Every structure is written in structure tokens, then in C-alpha cells.
């Protein structure tokens, strides 16, 4: 059951990154691609009916973590208290910016909400990337399996790191570029005319940066956590995962040049999935590594809830997942096709 729930949580995190990832990417690009009010309206309408539903996967993932691995939930939510509060406020600010800008005709307020939309989206991407990098790098778990991290210390990876150091900054940059690329490819699917062309050009430029930061992040991860390769060496077939990451990068570029937007967007989605799967495989069966003593690692065996709870939970989780899939399939099917400044989502 530990193996099953580990991958259930991983799937829900991957679903959030893929689905809310393009929402964040649209927000990141909003400051660069929108030239007029019609462009800004089109950007908002391109994510309008789905952005809040996509965030459900983040809440569901956190709830599943609490249910299946209560020790991990308690330790991580306590140790990452500061960044979690920052993320919470960024989510609030982003939601307010999307909803409230459409309720005012005052240019100053619209400019304010547009800036808030960009800033909160960019910072969320950076913080999510840095959070994953923190988990891969490890945290200073104490004997009581709790820890505290300041926002930064000396920017070095070591026994007593901060939330931000050179490695977690790399993680934040990878997430920022990857989600911006993902958002650009979504806009190629949804936006019409000149805005679509600008999004396609942005995706091509961002692809070069994404390739570079991906190539930097892989050796950086091995340098920070050499044990991340243990599972790969034990099961060489797992080296297919980084090969698939490279294949998806090639697919993004190739399909973008061939003007096959759906295939390019799906390649971007799978790139994100395989990057996350690669990280999960490198960590398994550890959930949260210790940067001070490997014996203090929070593993699946340590953190797993009781067997009765897990067996009952998987029944209810399956039922909830079925309802969620019906909702999402219906929403995206109804929302297919292009949007404009005057059509699609509005208030």
C-alpha cells in the first residue's frame, strides 16, 4: 500500500503541475505578450473557466498527503511554514487579480491587477520549483523528525541550508521557464491571430532556455544528491525516463515548427510529467531526505498511515477521482477551440 499511495500522491502533484502549470505560464507571459486591452482580455479568457478547477489538484494532493503520510505532512508543513504562507498569499493574489480586473473599467486598477497577475504567477512558479528542489536536496531533520528552514543562509548546499540556495534557485528557474513555455503552447492552442503568432514565437525562444536549464539541472541534482541514481543503477530500464524527457523537448520544438499546437502542448505536458517522475524515482522510497543524517530520512515505512485507513481511503479516493475526471473532461470538452476578447469566459 505504501508503493500505491506514493504514486497516487505523485500522480496528483503531476496533474496539478500540468493543468495549473499552463495557467501560471499564461500569467508569466501576460506582461510580455499583451499589447492592448483586447489581448489582456483574451489571455484571461483563455484560462477563464478552468484555472480555479485546476487548483483543486493542489488541495487534493495536500489532503491525500495528510491522509496517507501524516508524519510527512506534519513535518513538511511545519518546516516549510514560511514558504507555504507566501504561496497561500500568492494564490489569493492571483485569484483576486483574475476575478477583479474584469469588474472594473478604471485603467489604473486594471493595470494594478494585470501586474499582480504576472507577479503572483511568476513567483508561484519559482516557489514551486524551489520547493521540489528542497525535497530533492534534503532538509535538516532533527531527532524528532521536525525541522526549520530560514528563507536563505549562505546560498550554499550543506547540512544547515536555507530554503533558497544555488540549487533551489536552479529548481525555481527550471520551473519558471518550463511553465512559461507550457503557457505559451496553451496560448497557441487558444488565442487567435497575432496573439497566437506572438505566443508561438515566445515558445520557440523559451525552448532554447528550457533546454539549457534542463541540461544544467540534471548534473546539479546528481552533485547535490548522488543517491538519486541508486534506483536507476539498480533498474537500468529507468534510464528511459531522462531519455523521454529529451524526446519530449525535441517534440516541443518539432511540433511547434510544424504548427501542430496540440501535439506540442501534449509534449510539454509529458515533459513536465517525466521530469516529476524522474525526481520521484530518484527519491523512492524516501519521502523527505535529511541533509544531516540519512538515518533520519522520512521514508514511506515511517510515514505511512494505518492499513485499515489506507484500504478504506483507496475506495473513496477512486470514487472522488472518477467524479473529478468526469468534471474535467466535460469542462475541457466544452471549452475547446479558440477564444477572443469578447467570447468564452466572462463575468
Segments forming the whole domain that contains residue 271 = 8-309
* Exposure of 105 in the CB half-sphere (CA atoms within 13 A): 0
**In a domain? residue 327:** no
Give the chain's domain count: 1
d(CA 286, CA 71): 13
pLDDT at 19 (0 to 100): 94
Look up the CATH number of the domain holding residue 304. Answer: 1.20.1630
- Say if 317 falls within a structural domain: no
Determine the average pLDDT of the residues in 319-328.
89
Task: Outline where the chain has alpha helix (H).
Answer: 2-33, 37-47, 51-54, 56-68, 70-79, 81-100, 107-137, 166-190, 193-224, 230-234, 240-257, 261-283, 300-303, 307-334
Does some domain include residue 335?
A: no
What confidence tens digit (pLDDT) does each residue in 178-199 have? Answer: 999 999 999 999 999 899 999 9
Residue-level pLDDT at 173 = 97
Q: Residue 218 falls within a domain, yes or no? A: yes
pLDDT tens-digit readout, 2-37: 899 999 999 999 999 999 999 999 999 999 999 998
pTM value is 0.93
315 located within any domain: no
pLDDT score recorded for residue 106: 86
Percent of the chain with pLDDT over 70: 98
The answer as to whether 272 is a domain residue is yes
Domain membership flag for residue 90: yes
Is 334 inside any structural domain? no
Tell me the pLDDT of the chain averaged across its residues: 91
- What pLDDT was estimated at residue 344? 52
Amino acid at each position: 500500500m505504501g508503493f500505491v499511495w506514493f504514486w497516487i500522491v505523485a500522480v496528483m502533484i503531476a496533474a496539478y503541475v500540468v493543468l495549473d502549470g499552463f495557467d501560471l505560464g499564461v500569467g508569466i507571459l501576460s506582461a510580455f505578450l499583451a499589447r492592448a486591452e483586447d489581448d489582456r482580455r483574451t489571455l484571461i479568457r483563455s484560462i477563464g473557466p478552468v484555472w480555479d478547477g485546476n487548483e483543486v489538484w493542489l488541495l487534493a494532493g495536500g489532503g491525500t498527503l495528510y491522509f496517507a503520510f501524516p508524519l510527512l505532512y506534519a513535518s513538511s508543513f511545519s518546516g516549510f511554514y514560511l514558504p507555504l504562507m507566501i504561496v497561500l498569499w500568492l494564490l489569493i493574489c492571483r485569484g483576486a487579480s483574475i476575478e477583479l480586473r474584469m469588474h472594473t473599467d478604471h485603467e489604473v486598477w486594471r493595470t494594478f491587477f494585470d501586474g499582480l497577475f504576472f507577479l503572483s504567477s511568476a513567483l508561484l512558479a519559482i516557489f514551486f520549483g524551489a520547493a521540489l528542489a528542497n525535497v530533492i536536496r534534503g532538509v535538516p531533520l532533527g531527532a524528532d523528525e521536525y525541522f526549520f528552514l530560514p528563507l536563505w543562509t549562505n546560498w550554499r548546499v550543506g547540512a544547515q541550508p536555507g530554503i533558497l540556495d544555488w540549487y533551489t534557485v536552479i529548481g525555481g528557474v527550471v520551473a519558471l521557464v518550463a511553465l512559461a513555455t507550457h503557457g505559451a503552447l496553451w496560448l497557441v492552442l487558444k488565442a487567435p491571430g497575432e496573439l497566437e503568432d506572438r505566443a508561438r514565437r515566445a515558445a520557440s525562444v523559451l525552448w532554447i532556455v528550457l533546454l539549457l536549464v534542463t541540461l544544467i539541472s540534471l548534473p546539479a541534482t546528481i552533485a547535490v544528491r548522488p543517491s538519486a541514481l541508486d534506483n536507476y543503477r539498480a533498474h537500468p530500464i529507468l534510464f528511459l525516463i531522462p531519455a523521454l524527457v529529451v524526446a519530449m523537448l525535441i517534440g516541443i520544438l518539432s511540433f511547434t515548427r510544424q504548427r501542430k499546437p496540440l501535439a506540442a502542448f501534449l509534449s510539454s505536458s509529458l515533459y513536465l510529467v517525466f521530469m516529476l517522475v524522474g525526481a520521484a524515482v530518484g527519491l523512492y522510497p524516501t519521502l523527505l531526505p535529511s541533509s544531516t543524517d540519512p538515518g533520519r530520512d522520512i521514508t514511506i515505512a515511517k510515514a505511512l498511515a494505518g492499513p485499515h485507513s489506507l484500504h478504506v481511503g483507496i475506495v473513496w479516493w477512486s470514487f472522488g477521482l472518477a467524479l473529478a475526471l468526469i468534471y474535467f473532461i466535460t469542462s475541457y470538452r466544452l471549452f475547446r477551440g479558440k477564444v477572443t476578447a469578447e467570447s468564452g469566459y466572462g463575468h
